[in-house]
Amino acid sequence: MPFCLSLAANETFIAANFAFMMYSGLTHGAGRLVQAFGTEKQKKLYLKKMYTGEWTGTMLLTEPEAGSDVGALTTSAVKNEDGTYSITGNKIFISAGEHDLAENIIHPVLARIEGAPEGTKGISLFLVPKIWVNDDGSLGEDNDVVCTAVEEKMGIHGNATCSLSLGSKGRCRGTLLGEENKGMRAMFLMMNEARLLVGLQGLACASSAYIYAVNYARERIQGRHLLNLMDKSAAPVPIIQHADVRRMLLTMKTYVEGMRSLLYYVGMCEDKINVSDDAEEKAKYQGLIDLLIPVAKGFVTDRAFDVCSLGVQVYGGYGYIREYPMEQLLRDCRITMIYEGTNGIQAMDLLGRKLGMKKGKPIMDLLGEIQVTIAAAKKLSATEELANKVQAAVNKLGEAAMHMGQTAMSAAVMTAFAFAYPFMEVTGDVIFSWMLLWRATIAAEKLENGAKKKDKAFYEGQLKSAEFFAHSVLPATLGKMDAILASNSAVVDISEDAFGGK
């Protein structure tokens, strides 16, 4: 299912069916690789059964000594006389790598053909089924893909993450998917979709955590109201009436609304690419998607974990036990910060590749999109002040982006990348402030035009979300940007011995 269509799915369902989403997402991604790079024979043999879910799919990248550094992989491929390849190697952390939910599992596998260059330049992509698929589409013999361990995870226990041995008996075969030595380029088609899916998983957990927390806070009676604290005869009140609980709930609310709008915006960009016939317009929206992927995965999942953690706090002691949902949401959400490239890698991608992509056009297009919203918000009395605060943050982000780009191309490159993660954070904050301002502007217009009584509380809530974020989050964001502009080099200068340990 295309990412933009998957957004229509119910977020609580996604969170409750985290493992199912992983199985279906991986299968769709593997199928997309076959559709994009497969031969006619591969498409005929695999596509229908993968897209219908009769067969499932995975992605085999990680190895014991080659995690984030995929170019260090040692899995090898030797060409056979019949055009297939004998595959030998070991892969770890393979989501949905072994199970009995389908009659076959199709593994896209990264491996190095005998004699290929070192590093990522010499990596090829292969299609390796668990059970060999005969030329007529029937299933043949076992393909020597063996599960050697099921890894015990902190969360998502419904998904078998496992270690796989390929060719330990010398009988594992695969077929080349795409061109030799261009496997990483092909795999990134799946990786980019997977990163957006992981962002969606983070949103699903955060959205569920917020709804659970706000409903619990309405029902949980605990303590007298602060204004009646000294009145011993005063009745206890729902905890949603306590100021600190309201702070936590509003923090959760603003982050969930920000991440939802960002992910929906990326989906809208994909839709615009699909319906447009204008090459320039297509390139613009593809540039925006490419630029936003690190934020939609990295920043969104960071904040999603924060939201789930706040949800535990709202529940208090009950939030920490398994009889209540928060404990599972927190555990399940944590993996999203690691999946498909850790969030530190997302930050490095934003700084090292996306910021200067196409001579900076995507970042300029993004800032232009934000300015459109700011201009509209300035025309309304309810959002004018908020627009000015977002404007100040956007201006300073532009300054920070210029500074980071220049520093990354200087002798202080290590210092620049020490601030890559804070830069992703402030970029995410500014994008969220844009999204919340956008929502608030629409809400203000609806209220001015006489919104229905049943909708007023929702629209007023949108204005308060934007107000809270502008007054309580953006000031800290501006402080982080001051730190980025100062670019202190302590992270780089500290000696390894000074860290301690041993």
Q: Residue 467 corresponds to which tokens in the numbers above?
A: 């107000």
pLDDT above 70: residue 1: no
252-284 b/e (C-beta count within 10 Å ≥ 16 → b): bbbbbbbbbbbbebbbebbebbeeeeeeeeebb
Q: Which of 325, 296, 323 is nearest to 312 (CA)?
A: 325
pLDDT for 463-485, tens place per residue?
A: 999 999 999 999 999 999 999 99
Kind of pairing between the strands at 105-113 and 76-79: parallel
The pLDDT of residue 151: 87
Per cent of the chain over pLDDT 90 is 82
- pLDDT of 22 reads 59
Distance CA 351, CA 455 (A): 41
Residues 340, 399, 425, 445: which is the catalytic one?
Answer: 340
β-bridge pairing 85-95 and 76-79: antiparallel
If you average pLDDT over residues 19-26, what whole number do you get?
Answer: 62
Mean per-residue pLDDT of the chain: 92
Domain residue ranges of the chain, discontinuous segments joined by +: 38-181, 191-334, 357-373+388-492
Classify 38-181 by CATH class.
Answer: mainly beta
CA neighbor of 122 nearest in space, from 68, 79, 179, 84? 179
Work out the widest C-alpha separation in the chain, in whole angstroms: 89
Checking 368-376 for CB contacts under 8 A at 24+ apart, the result is 369/288, 369/434, 370/394, 370/430, 370/431, 370/434, 373/434, 373/437, 373/438, 373/441, 374/434, 374/437, 376/441
Q: Kindly state the average pLDDT of the residues 327-335.
A: 94
Beta pairing, strands 123-129 & 105-113: antiparallel
- pLDDT score recorded for residue 321: 94
Kindly tell me if the per-residue pLDDT of 210 is higher than 60: yes
Residue 134 has pLDDT above 70, yes or no: yes
Residue 16 has pLDDT above 60, yes or no: no
Cα 126 to Cα 40, 59, 92, 250: the distances in Å are: 15, 10, 17, 48
Dihedral angle over CA of 405, 410, 416, 420, nearest 10: 40
According to CATH, the topology of domain 191-334 is Butyryl-CoA Dehydrogenase, subunit A; domain 3 (1.20.140)
| Secondary structure (3-state) at 166 | strand
> Is 384 tagged catalytic?
no
Q: What residues are paired with 238 via a beta bridge?
A: 221
**Residue 4 pLDDT:** 43
255 in Cβ contact with 306 (< 8 Å)? yes
Question: pLDDT digits over 423-479, tens only?
Answer: 999 999 999 999 999 999 999 999 999 889 999 999 999 999 999 999 999 999 999
